[in-house]
Structure 1
Amino acid sequence: MDNSTLQSLDDIFLEYAENSLPNRPQTGVLYKASLPSNFTGVNVSIIRLRRGSFWRRGGNFSGFYMPPRIFSLPIFTRLDMVFSNLGNLSSDYYNVPNHTLVAPIVGFNVYGSRNSTGKFSNLTTPMTKVNLTLFGSPILVQFPNFSPIQNQKAKCVVFYLNGTIEMTNMTMQDMCAVKDQGHFSIVVPYTPRVPRGPKGKKERGQLWKWWVFGFAIGVSGLLLFGFIIFTIVRVFRRRKVEKMEREAERNEGLQATNVGQSRMPFATVVRTQPTIENDYYP
């Protein structure tokens, strides 16, 4: 979306936020803005701060951890800080080429307060946006409902009004460190999805065929391996039996003869000769 549209969006949020302030807003209290139905899911809030207190103490507002020593110029006694969370409408307004948003677009803008005692009296007077200069630590941005993504390199992204985009690494606390007001999110490299049309079905069909072919090759290889093992074992056992037979033949006391296809032992027949017990003949 072009920069003029994004600037107009910030102006709309500022208008609704200012109109949501009570007649005598308390300093340091966060007020939620009422938005029209076409911004369902978007959250906008506003807080009024004393400039001197903000410089000395900083603050923790709506997920933004602001350190002390943030200088604002031009100088106003009080500052109006507007926070926004685009929620499920984030991708309708912001995008990063070749990347996917994994967190909502959040942002804040700081303006000089028109009236430090209550609602501003002249709504036609344009709000003055102040410039921020950090003399201490950076501002830390925490994103709601965000958890680190495994195996993906998440990056912080900063959207500038001039249309440029800057990406930086996240902090150890899974937050983004920024140096100025603006709009921020977290992105990961874009991963194309598998098409679901006829082409996708064809690719899945080919994948199935390759899976069946691989399974068949695996089973065939397993059977061949089993047959080889069986043959080796059988040959080994046969050789062992033959060796035992040869050893038996060398050590046998009986003679052997072939009967059919088998070799069997046999003993030589020796007839016992009759012996006369004495020399007496009747």
Structure 2
Amino acid sequence: MSRQRPHTDELYDASLPENLAGIKVSVVGLRSRTLWTKGANFSDFIIPPKTLPVPYVKRLLIVYHNLGNWSSLYYTLSGYTLLSPVVGFLVYDASSYNFRTKNLSKIELNTNGKPVSIDFQNSSLADRGSDLRAKCAAFGAYGKVFLSDMSLPNMCYSRNQGHFSIVIPFMKKQKISPFWIVGFLGGFLGLILVGFAGIVGVRSLMGKRNQEMVKEADEGECLETYWIDNSKMPRAEVTRTQPVLESTTTLPNPKLSWYA
């Protein structure tokens, strides 16, 4: 902007060195009366009408930042993860229009109770801003961070200039303790051993019971045995029923009837 006279109410993109690739900076110059009547709707921020610079100046310069993939390098929040790039705006006194100076005076804004809207719709990660756990983070001076709930998805509000982002609580993966692993394997092996011992015990008991039954059967009746080829077969004693002879007594002749 120092190379030419900039136009009021027009946004200019700054050219940054290669070592800051990924960061976007843009600048707009406004008259205070324009800010009062129309507000400012540039970049990701909407400054409401009836806003005045403090202290009052005729002209002001608003510098917008989008830190992109550098966000986590400049701003961190313990226990939270950034869901969107950090964006911000700062306001300077531009009454002299001497942009070559390195000592521009920083001024504040009085929005008369109305909030400045920060729209994260253009963020590549903003689709997760609808998560109920997501919060708005405002990064203040000296490392101070202010968290607030999101009333609308991907939309945050502020009454002051600064830098902002959408954050979500960091979910740590629970590590399984090696003691639990050893205990689980020990219990599993113990169950296998108990089951194996139970099977062996049942088989042993059944074998012993079968032996007792065979022994009882052998002691109950002694049978002779004989071999048929390679098989040993039991043989009972031969018992023959003695024959009963019929009587040899001659029956008397029947008397004949005289009428026969």
TM-score normalised to structure 1 length: 0.59
C-alpha distance after superposition, 1:124-162 (max 9, x if no partner): 5x1111111111421110122211356641000111113
Task: Supply the AA of the counterpart residue of 1:69.
Answer: K
Instruction: Report the aligned-residue RMSD.
Output: 2.9
Corresponding position of 2:158: 178
* Alpha-carbon distance between aligned partners in 2 of 1:73 and 1:55, rounded to the nearest angstrom: 13
**Matched residue of 1:158: which SS?**
strand
Task: Supply the AA of the counterpart residue of 2:118.
Answer: V
Match of 2:15 among 34, 59, 62: 34
Match of 1:80 among 61, 65, 79: 61
* Alpha-carbon distance between aligned partners in 2 of 1:68 and 1:115, rounded to the nearest angstrom: 24
**Matched residue of 1:187: which SS?**
strand
Match of 2:170 among 185, 190, 212: 190
CA deviation after TM superposition for structure 1 residue 76, in Å: 1.7
CA deviation after TM superposition for structure 1 residue 115, in Å: 3.1
Question: Between Structure 1 and Structure 2, which shows a larger proportion of helix residues?
Answer: 1
1:68 aligns with 2:49: yes
Task: Supply the AA of the counterpart residue of 1:107.
Answer: G
CA deviation after TM superposition for structure 1 residue 183, in Å: 0.6
Q: Which runs of 4+ in 1 moved over 3 A?
A: 148-152, 202-206
Corresponding position of 1:101: 82
CA deviation after TM superposition for structure 1 residue 71, in Å: 1.6
Task: Supply the AA of the counterpart residue of 1:88.
Answer: N
Structure number with bigger Rg: 2
* Alpha-carbon distance between aligned partners in 1 of 2:99 and 2:93, rounded to the nearest angstrom: 14
CA deviation after TM superposition for structure 1 residue 192, in Å: 1.2
Length, aligned pairs only: 186
Corresponding position of 2:215: none
Corresponding position of 2:105: 128
Contact 2:129–2:166, Cα closer than 8 Å, also in 1? no
Which is worse superposed, 49-58 or 135-144?
135-144
Q: Report percent identity of matched pairs.
A: 35
Task: Supply the AA of the counterpart residue of 2:143.
Answer: G
CA deviation after TM superposition for structure 1 residue 63, in Å: 1.1
* Alpha-carbon distance between aligned partners in 1 of 2:19 and 2:173, rounded to the nearest angstrom: 30
* Alpha-carbon distance between aligned partners in 2 of 1:161 and 1:203, rounded to the nearest angstrom: 46
